[in-house]
Amino acid sequence: MQRRSRGIHAGLILLLSQIFHVGISNIPPVTLATLALNIWLFLNPLKPLFESCLSVEKCYQQKDWQRLLLSPLHHADDWHLYFNMASMLWKGINLERRLGSRWFAYIIVTFSVLTGVVYLFLEFALAESMGEPGFRRNCAVGFSGVLFALKVLNNHYCPGGFANVLGFPVPNRFACWAELVAIHFISPGTSFAGHLAGILVGLMYTHGPLKKIMEKCAGISSSSMHYPGQQYPFNSSGYSRYQDDYPYGRPGYSEDVPRNYDAYTAGLSEEEQLERALRASLWDRGASGPSPQPYGFRLSPEEEMRRQRLRRFDHQ
């Protein structure tokens, strides 16, 4: 799980470009702080990946509980960071404007810890039920478990419409499950249990007791919860790698929400942007010499034709 050393972090450059095109002033504060923290820790990791990744063996058996906090904030490489934070950018803009900054920050912290706990439980259950101790050593790192939980929330608040999963329209309420299977199928190196843990945490919030427990811990009631602001639904693939009541928290704050991102996305949806970035990742790594394609992706003839169309688009 060693981070690939490279002179130029193309994924990081692409992420920064996307953030600046959106405009820092247009990104809600908790979302912006989450992006900044993950970027900072990618450039200045607190610990090596093997000492920050989450596993039953390291966290539970060796009592290294700090990994619950470290693992979501560390990433294997710059493209891992890009996929996670590009997804966080769009989910954060949508959900933080709806829920308010204070509650959204509470959700991020709670989901980060709870997703890790559920992940440990799933891996422990697999190891015990299948008699395979290797599951105890599976070590996960990255923010994508939290992103899957946020995806559940986003689909809960914006239930209509469809998400594009591998080119197929999927109803939003089933999109998380479709993406869970699709990502694991096309990228075997990802953590199925990590992504599933995120979905389960999201469902615990939207359909289980988690939201009421959080409200009780915060000293508020459901009747006093008010989520202001207009909804700005969007489609989000939520792809990221998981590897081996007031807007902005105070009354009287108002800001014009950017409604048209086509000026810098060229009309591409978030899924298409991420797919395009993935193509760039494949080309970037392929240029450095023969090596297996990252994340288990293989380009089919249909994808190759689509890549040619993207190339033509780039030269327009």
Judge whether 263 lies within some domain. Answer: no
- Reply yes or no on whether 144 is catalytic: yes
How many structural domains are present in the chain? 1
Residue 255 covered by a domain: no
Residue 310 forms part of a structural domain: no
- Annotated catalytic residue within 9, 74, 80, 195: 195
Q: Rounded to the nearest 5°, which phi and psi values hold at 54?
A: -105, 125
Q: What is the CATH number of the domain that holds 75?
A: 1.20.1540.10
Report the C-alpha gap between 31 and 158 in whole angstroms. 19
The answer to whether 150 and 206 are in contact (CB under 8 A) is no
244 located within any domain: no
pLDDT of residue 134: 86
Residues in the chain: 316
Nearest to residue 225, comparing CAs of 90, 92, 89, 104? 104
What integer pLDDT is reported at residue 242 of this predicted model?
32
Spell out the residues 6+ positions from residue 137 whose beta carbon is closer than 8 angstroms to its own.
55, 56, 57
C-alpha–C-alpha distance, residues 239 and 217, integer Å: 31
Please tell me the predicted confidence (pLDDT) of residue 215: 94
Structural domain contains residue 240: no
HSE toward the beta carbon, residue 173, CA cutoff 13 A: 5
Segments forming the whole domain that contains residue 116 = 10-218
Spatial separation of the C-alpha atoms in residues 297 and 159, rounded to whole Å: 30
pTM, two decimal places: 0.69
Residues 92, 211: Cα–Cα separation, whole Å: 18
Q: How many other C-beta atoms are found inside a 10 Å radius of the C-beta of residue 269? A: 17
In a domain, 122, yes or no: yes
Tokens of residue 95, six digits? 């959900």
Tens-digit pLDDT string for the chain (316 aa): 444 445 568 899 999 999 999 999 999 999 999 999 999 999 999 998 889 999 999 888 888 899 999 999 999 889 999 999 999 999 999 999 999 999 999 999 999 999 999 999 999 999 999 888 888 988 899 999 999 999 999 999 888 788 888 888 888 888 889 889 888 888 777 888 999 999 999 999 999 999 999 999 988 755 555 554 433 333 333 333 333 333 334 333 333 434 333 333 444 445 555 555 545 444 444 444 443 333 333 334 444 454 444 444 444 4
Tell whether 234 is covered by a domain: no
Which residues, in sequence order, are CB contacts of 188 under 8 Å at separation 6+? 296
Token pair listed for 114: 């709870």
Q: Which listed residue (52, 87, 101, 144) is catalytic?
A: 144
In a domain, 169, yes or no: yes
CA distance 63 to 59: 5
Q: What whole-number distance in Å separates Cα of residue 214 and Cα of residue 103?
A: 10
3-state secondary structure the chain: CCCCCCCCCHHHHHHHHHHHHHCHHHCCHHHHHHHHHHHHHHHCCCCCHHHHCECHHHHHHCCCCCHHHHHHHCCCCHHHHHHHHHHHHHHHHHHHHHHCHHHHHHHHHHHHHHHHHHHHHHHHHHHHHHCCCHHHHCCECCCHHHHHHHHHHHHHHCCCCEEEECCEEEEHHHHHHHHHHHHHHHCCCCCHHHHHHHHHHHHHHHCCCHHHHHHHHHCCCHHHCCCCCCCCCCCCCCCCCCCCCCHHHCCCCCCCCCCCCHHHHCCCCHHHHHHHHHHHHHHHHHCCCCCCCHHHCCCCHHHHHHHHHHHHHHCC
195 is an active site residue: yes
Instruction: Return the structure tokens found at 288.
Output: 């450095």
